[in-house]
Structure 1
């Protein structure tokens, strides 16, 4: 599927690619609505409806990923609530071995994430994944979500990657489409970002379930 001789830089998403998306799915879809309902003293169904509408209106934007934005919008300490289910934070299988393999091949591995810095820092504390990376760039740092066409030239200026010799791995097809439109040559989608979710049928991009499908690890 990949010729590693054609690749110098590997850009990697975090949630759903290196880390199990179950943590975030559980927080945003289950834990936050439940805690919002408890704090507001409203029925859970109403909380789910209100939060769902707010989130759908901002999906794909920088606000959608911003814990500070949601804290202001909901008048809650969302960052503190985010830590209440930290026991669910976990690496996807083979993530560490894959990053070690990239280092053996002398490939530059950069984490490129929409995660808010507070949430990112918490996950790095728990997983230690940053020790296996050559750098980390957040969309909050560049002021644009990865879904935006403005993100990719800003990332290139920041990191100096060559789109023709770069592999980008993500679980979000909208993000992958933005990267493709910018000209990144090698793209991969993750079939099962949430370990408790379905194996997805990805047709628009090459897709893998496990990293050993593209590297002997």
Structure 2
């Protein structure tokens, strides 16, 4: 699935790729509605209905991923609420083995995430994965989400990479399609980004069930 001798850089998404998306889905679909309902005197169902409308408006934009944006919009301390359920943050099996093996092959390893810096810090503090990367890059630092084709050109200016010898793994089809349109040749999707949810459609992309499948020998 990966011809490792042709790869010199590995770029990895975080949520739904390295980390189980169950945390994020539970947080936004259950925990935030619960706290929003408590704050505003709503039933849980009323809160969910209100929030889903707001989520849909922001989806695919940088605001969707922004802790500060949702703190302001909802009147809730999103960073604190994440910490209330951070015990649900989980690294997928074989991720550390994969990262160690890739490091042993002298590949450059870069985390490229849409997650806000505050969310990234919470997750790195919880998982201790940060030391496995040569660099951690948040799309907020570039002012564009990965779904935007212009993101990749901006990324090139701060983290030069070869389109032909870079492997990029992400669980989002819009992000993968953006990377493909930019010309990144080696792309992999993730079949089951949320361990508690059904497998997802991976469209036209090759995909992994587990990082065990692509650990370099």
Aligned counterparts of 1:152 and 1:132: Cα–Cα separation in 2: 22
Deviation at 1:78, TM superposition (A): 1.2
Deviation at 1:200, TM superposition (A): 2.4
Deviation at 1:43, TM superposition (A): 1.2
**Structure 2 unpaired stretches of 5+:** none
For 1:150, the equivalent position in structure 2 comes to 150
For 2:138, the equivalent position in structure 1 comes to 138
What TM-score does the superposition give when structure 2 sets the normalisation length?
0.97
Deviation at 1:37, TM superposition (A): 0.3
For 1:41, the equivalent position in structure 2 comes to 41
Deviation at 1:216, TM superposition (A): 4.7
The number of residues matched between the two structures is 217
Deviation at 1:203, TM superposition (A): 3.2
Q: How does 1:120-131 map to 2 (within 5 A)?
A: 120-131=120-131
For 2:214, the equivalent position in structure 1 comes to 214
- Whether the 8 Å contact between 2:98 and 2:214 is mirrored in structure 1 is no
Query: Which shifted more, 133-142 or 194-203?
Result: 194-203
Deviations 1:108-130 (A, max 9, x none): 01000001111100110111101
Q: How does 1:61-72 map to 2 (within 5 A)?
A: 61-72=61-72
Aligned counterparts of 1:89 and 1:181: Cα–Cα separation in 2: 32
DSSP-derived class of the 1:14 partner: coil
What TM-score does the superposition give when structure 1 sets the normalisation length?
0.97
Aligned counterparts of 1:39 and 1:74: Cα–Cα separation in 2: 10
For 2:115, the equivalent position in structure 1 comes to 115
Aligned counterparts of 1:137 and 1:32: Cα–Cα separation in 2: 26
- Whether the 8 Å contact between 2:11 and 2:111 is mirrored in structure 1 is yes
Query: What do you get for the CA RMSD once the two structures are aligned?
Result: 1.0
For 2:192, the equivalent position in structure 1 comes to 192
DSSP-derived class of the 1:141 partner: helix
- Whether the 8 Å contact between 2:4 and 2:216 is mirrored in structure 1 is no
Q: How does 1:53-64 map to 2 (within 5 A)?
A: 53-64=53-64
- Whether the 8 Å contact between 2:102 and 2:216 is mirrored in structure 1 is no
